[in-house]
Chain A
């Protein structure tokens, strides 16, 4: 970007700051300025034009600098653009594209406007490829597809970020580009994220776009826009991209702050009337395209598990489902604390194989029955043998879904372990023993290529879960062969 004198000379238009309200500046002059145009102050700071009145231009400040009344401001004639190029992977940027850690220049740089309309329907395709999160419960019950927009919703400290990191780890290891938008969080959180990516060796496939709570509201507001612009850059190169926006409730809170300062009429919960438009415009830019895909995982925070909040319902309406992290389940020790009954995936099943779809259907109905039985047990009723079996199997399945934060389970491994559980491989085993033996199988699946190929081949021959279970009942040595049981 050039300096103030250059733009003043080039466009020949000048304005003078009349009023300053926190991050909003009102300037007179600039007769031909247009909305979303970048303006530059004589001190070199930049701002974004939000609206114009007969007398004033309303400018959103994108820096901390103290602008005073009387400061000169010039038009640039440009929309807010982000410089993206080769070498962006592994970097941490702010929404204006300034590197927060590695200041070396990018190669083959191209400028992209950050606030553009979404791609047309002709450029899109149906979601058809699965996106494995590496989290067994999600991959089996609420599966995701590449290009899906899935809301990650739940109270604070319920393991949402942990799940997102597992998903990123799972995808980045497969070469998927992962972009993490840290929206107005603590600086410490962003540093932790950087360290996590470096420790897991996935930095080369990730980009962090971060703003901390100490940054100007205008800059925080732009974070998801910049993140999705980077996602579009990779999408246009034919790549599949995973975009995490953590979190959209914070984003909305900052937009509310800006709107109230700008004296916009407050709507429900004091949010401006266009908050749905602002969020849905970002969400619509994600999806499955003829060339590449952008899978968006926006995050929303709830209060006391209330899913009926204004923003929460807005975000649910503009996404293809949601994964609900339940504080009650978290307090009961479930990890991940995903509530399978209140989570929804609208297009994820379309990306599954017939076998996975069948497992998902079977599992969901079983979990419903188990939950009902569990509630029934609260009355202290005597249970039949059949009910007792359901309860025992249910406990084992729940235990199977309890997964350490740093482990990733592949879809095939999930399917075979669950089928083994169903087939009674661990019928008489204690939960601890079952978990240990499952870990042995997981380890063998990871290191023993012949075993892995054999399991994958076995799975590919079945379309129905019941057939797979029957097969495992008759051939349990496939799994038992990898377990060292004490007699």
Chain B
């Protein structure tokens, strides 16, 4: 039931935004009148409100419980920090997301930062593990050999 919504949340910004929306919805449950419906229309993005309506239709599911669980699931989402050298497009984010969920499973969000100084490749941080696959690192490794080579040429 929740996977449809969770699978649309790919980055940490999206997660925080959706979490705020759901929190606001949850608060509206305790207000008089049709505030919940108004909030769904005005505060929550279209795709999310559509999915929430779909999940709650029939009135069998308790709204409060549904929203609480959804917030919990969002909080539980594991964060993969990704440093790349360029500002990613939506296509790039989708690609990264598909690759990463394929490797480590569902309920993951990407925290992407743009660091041009790494030149290319990526630095990945997940559950305290740090892996540097950047081009800068490759250059630094290789430059140890380059430097000697260049110095030899200059010495001629």
Q: Which residues on A are within 8 Å of B, measured CB to CB?
A: 8-9, 12-15, 28-31, 74
Contact yes or no, A9 B132, CB < 8 A: yes
5 interchain residue pairs of minimum CB distance? A29-B128, A14-B130, A31-B128, A12-B130, A30-B128
Question: Is B53 at the interface (CB under 8 A from chain A)?
Answer: no
Question: Is B129 at the interface (CB under 8 A from chain A)?
Answer: yes
**B130: min CB distance to chain A, Å:** 4
Contact yes or no, A31 B127, CB < 8 A: yes
CA distance A74 to B130 in the complex (A): 10
Say what secondary structure dominates the interface of chain A: strand
- Interfacial chain B residues near A29, Cβ < 8 Å: 125, 127-128
- Interfacial chain A residues near B128, Cβ < 8 Å: 13-15, 28-31
Looking across the interface, which residue of chain A has its beta carbon closest to that of B130?
A: A14
Interface string of B124-146 (1 = CB under 8 A from A): 01011111100000000000000
**A218: min CB distance to chain B, Å:** 23
Looking across the interface, which residue of chain B has its beta carbon closest to that of A27?
A: B128
Q: Which residues on B are within 8 Å of A, measured CB to CB?
A: 125, 127-132
- Interfacial chain A residues near B125, Cβ < 8 Å: 14, 29
**B148: min CB distance to chain A, Å:** 21
Looking across the interface, which residue of chain B has its beta carbon closest to that of A12?
A: B130
Contact yes or no, A31 B130, CB < 8 A: no
CA distance A74 to B131 in the complex (A): 13
**Interface centre among A13, A14, A74, by most B CB within 10 Å?**
A14
**A40: min CB distance to chain B, Å:** 13
Q: Of A9, A13, A28, which contacts B129 at CB under 8 A?
A: A13
**A14: min CB distance to chain B, Å:** 4
- Interfacial chain B residues near A15, Cβ < 8 Å: 128
**A186: min CB distance to chain B, Å:** 41
16 residue pairs from A and B, CB less than 8 Å apart: A8-B130, A9-B132, A12-B129, A13-B128, A13-B129, A14-B125, A14-B128, A14-B130, A15-B128, A28-B128, A29-B125, A30-B128, A31-B127, A31-B128, A31-B129, A74-B130
- Interfacial chain B residues near A30, Cβ < 8 Å: 128
Q: A8-B130, A14-B130, A28-B128 are in contact. List 12 more A-B contacts (CB 8 A).
A: A8-B132, A12-B129, A12-B130, A13-B129, A14-B125, A14-B128, A14-B129, A15-B128, A29-B125, A29-B127, A31-B127, A31-B128
CA distance A15 to B127 in the complex (A): 9
- Interfacial chain A residues near B130, Cβ < 8 Å: 8, 12-14, 74
CA distance A30 to B127 in the complex (A): 8
- Interfacial chain A residues near B132, Cβ < 8 Å: 8-9
**A27: min CB distance to chain B, Å:** 9
**Interface centre among B125, B129, B130, B132, by most A CB within 10 Å?**
B130
Looking across the interface, which residue of chain B has its beta carbon closest to that of A31?
A: B128
**B14: min CB distance to chain A, Å:** 21
**B83: min CB distance to chain A, Å:** 12
CA distance A411 to B141 in the complex (A): 67
CA distance A53 to B125 in the complex (A): 20
**Interface centre among B125, B127, B128, B132, by most A CB within 10 Å?**
B128
- Interfacial chain A residues near B131, Cβ < 8 Å: 12
CA distance A13 to B132 in the complex (A): 11
Looking across the interface, which residue of chain B has its beta carbon closest to that of A8?
A: B130
Looking across the interface, which residue of chain A has its beta carbon closest to that of B132?
A: A9
**A334: min CB distance to chain B, Å:** 62
CA distance A316 to B95 in the complex (A): 68
CA distance A14 to B83 in the complex (A): 14
**B104: min CB distance to chain A, Å:** 14
CA distance A8 to B132 in the complex (A): 9
CA distance A14 to B130 in the complex (A): 6
**A309: min CB distance to chain B, Å:** 44
CA distance A13 to B131 in the complex (A): 8
CA distance A415 to B125 in the complex (A): 73
- Interfacial chain A residues near B129, Cβ < 8 Å: 12-14, 31
CA distance A31 to B125 in the complex (A): 12
CA distance A8 to B129 in the complex (A): 10
Looking across the interface, which residue of chain B has its beta carbon closest to that of A11?
A: B130
- Interfacial chain A residues near B127, Cβ < 8 Å: 29, 31
CA distance A31 to B127 in the complex (A): 7
CA distance A229 to B64 in the complex (A): 61
CA distance A14 to B132 in the complex (A): 12
**B140: min CB distance to chain A, Å:** 10
CA distance A346 to B17 in the complex (A): 71
CA distance A466 to B44 in the complex (A): 102
CA distance A14 to B131 in the complex (A): 10
Looking across the interface, which residue of chain B has its beta carbon closest to that of A15?
A: B128
